[in-house]
Amino acid sequence: MADRKSENTGFPASQPQLPNTITDFDPPKKPKRNKFAIACAILASLASILLGYDIGVMSGAAIYIQKDLKISDVQVEVLVGILNLYSLLGSAAAGRTSDWIGRRYTIVFAAGIFFSGAILMGFATNYAFLMVGRFVAGIGVGYALMIAPVYTAEVSPASSRGFLTSLPEVFINFGILLGYVSNYALSKLPVHLGWRFMLGIGAIPSVLLAVSVLAMPESPRWLVMQGRLGDAKRVLDKTSESSEDSKLRLADIKEAAGIPEHCNDDVVQVTKRSHGEDVWKDLLLHPTPAVRHVLITAIGIHFFQQASGIDAVVLYSPRIFEKAGITNDTDKLLATMAVGAVKTAFILVATFLLDKIGRRRLLLSSVAGMIISLIGLGLGLTIIDNSHHKLTWAVALCISTVLSYVAFFSIGMGPITWVYSSEIFPLKLRAQGCSMGVAVNRVTSGVLSMTFISLYKAITIGGAFFLFTGVAAVAWVFFYTLMPETQGRTLEEMEVLFGTFFKWRITARELKRKEEVNGDINGKGQVQLRTRVQT
């Protein structure tokens, strides 16, 4: 690895070279963001709007569905949360599908499935018909959830991967906001029409997504796995910060795919894995310590993202505000729109901090803020629940803590879950590993969203948020002890950081010391003057 990086500086090890001008002493300039890579990431991330819109629109549509179809609270829970479990099938199949037809056409496939589901929900005549539409839409959501961050991570240069890989979460939040706006805009329609339009309009983003994919290149890592080195090189030349960076990325991908470094033909023969059995064996049955550490971390961050209560807040915001003392439907939808606006605003802030502050510090700060907000929300709801008259200050406390909770979630836990899990798996295990993380995410979300009403009826709504507080506290400890910083690392360097579990800090220090000795500080491949003279 170090040898290749030194070669990319243009100073062969066999020919010592001294600086010719004073400019050689200058620190390297910060590379500009690659606009083509940003455009590709944005287009791929549009897939995440599908999930966001469904989450947002169902929170309000459920009010009118319950009135129109005369369904019970338990049926509402199932309707709202079942899409997360249905999406398991999509996310489980997406790994193999994306390895078979490519990342790009998997996104098209996801859009087509969700389009069908949205149309079915819009024309639903009864509860059973509506559930069929939810099933189809859930498959599409599962595909979109897995493939968007994988594609974005694989097309992004290391220095801006955090920013670009967080874009799917940005679009999830934008989709949630669109869903809330749709609820409010269509709430004045007759009850039997309003919720059908709310759900049916979800077909529009899927059409836009399918068309936009035509402007995207295929993932360079998938191309290398198919032996199409020439195509991969052309994509890397467009999405890298420099020609040297492109060559280094290609060499790293070739190494990870088992292709000899000297092999530079446009098309090469690669060993095909039969149906992915070897991948699952390496991932689950006989993982290396590094893969085991990666898998535990990826599954853990996906579990805690949902178990800390975010979908309960987003999906049931109208009910939470009703419990807080807001009884008018229009006022509840307006307050819910505020949740979507805050969530979207802070996710945009997070995208610019990920590659500056780093994943780890941002995540720990985010979870700490969530814990404080959940304590305040639990206290406010408990006080209101036990009061016989309206307490304005307690209502204000509940509203402000809901907004602060989604703000803290969006600035760290929300985007970092997808960024981190999509960048730590080795190339050959990435698609299936990410699909496992998404599966855990959706199961946890589904269980939570399908039991939240029953949960708060059993232990009070304040007690439910105190429970989420405890989960968030455990999550903070998990992240602090097990998750190394990955900022600035190439995807192929991740294996060095993982495998020592609780001792990862020692590994990180040793890695940094070796980089300093090799003149490769922070993985940028910048050779120091001392190293040049010694060679």
**Type and span of the H or E element at 2:** helix 2-7
Cβ contact 307:84 at 8 Å: no
pLDDT at 271: 66
* pLDDT of residue 41 exceeding 80: yes
Report which of 208, 205, 184 is spatially closest to residue 52, judged by C-alpha positions.
205
pLDDT 10s digits, 416-471: 888 888 788 887 787 788 878 888 888 898 899 889 989 999 999 999 999 999 99
Query: Cβ neighbours of residue 215 under 8 Å, at least 6 residues apart?
Result: 39, 43
CA–CA distance, 240 with 122 (Å, rounded to integer): 43
Annotate 281-300 with DSSP letters as a single string: IIIIIS--HHHHHHHHHHHH
pLDDT 10s digits, 354-370: 778 888 889 999 999 99
CATH, domain 276-501, list 1.20.120.1750, 1.10.150.120, 3.40.1550.10, 1.20.1250.20: 1.20.1250.20
pLDDT 10s digits, 13-33: 444 444 444 444 444 455 566
**What is the overall mean pLDDT for the chain?**
81
Residue 334: pLDDT band with limits 50, 70, 90: confident
Across residues 494-504, what is the average pLDDT?
A: 74
Q: Tell whether the torsion through CA atoms of 466, 469, 473 and 479 is positive or negative.
A: positive
pLDDT 10s digits, 266-305: 788 776 554 456 777 878 888 888 888 989 999 999 999 9
Q: Residue 193: how many CB atoms within 10 A of its CB?
A: 12
* pLDDT of residue 531 exceeding 50: no
- Residue by residue, what is the 3-state secondary structure of 319-363? HHHHHCCCCCHHHHHHHHHHHHHHHHHHHHHHHHHHHHHCHHHHH
CATH 1.20.1250.20 maps onto the chain at 33-268, 276-501
* pLDDT of residue 195 exceeding 70: yes
Beta strands in 59-171 (DSSP E): none
pLDDT at 274: 46
Q: Is the pTM of this model over 0.85?
A: no
Residue 472: pLDDT band with limits 50, 70, 90: very high
CATH, domain 33-268, list 1.10.1060.10, 1.10.3210.10, 1.20.1250.20, 3.30.540.10: 1.20.1250.20
pLDDT at 238: 87
